[in-house]
């Protein structure tokens, strides 16, 4: 990405986040909507906007509402971005947060099972472990 497209992506990310924070007047668009990323083409004609929608049950309906409101959103973002040319928005659902949450949940579930390796011990980074690298107590080393 060129410097210009990176700058535009950053400006659009901020402006879009503000528009979504203020809310859309569409009953389909509900829940928590977060702009997770913006990618702008080199010629600044198109911006791919990745959004996360929570709860999961409202994702499909919210995405329909967001796509339908694309022109309205663009109209609100225009004055916030100092540019002669504003890219067309293409909205994509970002499911990365959902998959990260599932992985973390699965790891916690495995870690909490009796008999699992590390069961009952503090996880790395947790307070109270008292062990350094390689299982050696602090102050003991080679």
Within a domain: residue 111? no
pLDDT on residue 43: 94
The SS3 assignment for 37 reads strand
How far apart CA 1 and CA 42 sit, in angstroms, is 7
Give the pLDDT confidence of 30-84 residue by residue, as tens digits: 888 999 999 999 999 999 999 998 888 888 999 999 999 999 999 999 999 988 8
Higher pLDDT residue, 40 or 136? 40
Within a domain: residue 57? yes
Look up residue 93 and give its two tokens.
Answer: 């659902």
Within a domain: residue 119? no
Q: Cα 25 to the chain's mean position, in Å?
A: 23
Within a domain: residue 134? no
Residue 125 confidence class, pLDDT cut points 50, 70, 90 = low
Within a domain: residue 112? no
Within a domain: residue 132? no
Q: Which domain holds residue 33?
A: 3-98
Give the position of tokens 């901020």.
Answer: 14
Residue 130 CB-density burial (10 A; 0-12 exposed, 13-18 middle, 19+ buried): exposed
CATH number of residue 56's parent domain? 3.30.300.20
The SS3 assignment for 52 reads strand
Checking if the pLDDT of 108 tops 60, the result is yes
Within a domain: residue 104? no
Residue 45 and residue 87 in contact, taking contact as beta carbons nearer than 8 Å: yes
pLDDT on residue 62: 93
State how many domains the chain has.
Answer: 1
Within a domain: residue 123? no
pLDDT on residue 142: 42
């Amino acid at each position: 990405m060129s410097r210009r497209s990176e700058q535009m992506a950053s400006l659009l990310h901020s402006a879009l986040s503000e528009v979504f924070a203020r809310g859309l007047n569409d009953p389909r668009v509900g829940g928590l909507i977060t702009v997770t990323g913006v990618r702008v083409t080199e010629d600044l004609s198109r911006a791919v906007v990745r959004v996360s929608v929570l709860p999961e049950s409202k994702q499909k309906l919210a995405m329909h509402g967001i796509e339908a409101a694309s022109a309205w959103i663009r109209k609100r973002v225009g004055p916030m971005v100092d540019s002669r040319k504003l890219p067309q928005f293409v909205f994509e659902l970002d499911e990365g947060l959902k998959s990260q949450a599932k992985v973390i949940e699965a790891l916690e579930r495995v870690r909490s099972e009796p008999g699992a390796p590390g069961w009952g011990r503090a996880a790395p980074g947790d307070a109270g472990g008292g062990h350094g690298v390689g299982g050696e107590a602090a102050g003991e080393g080679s």
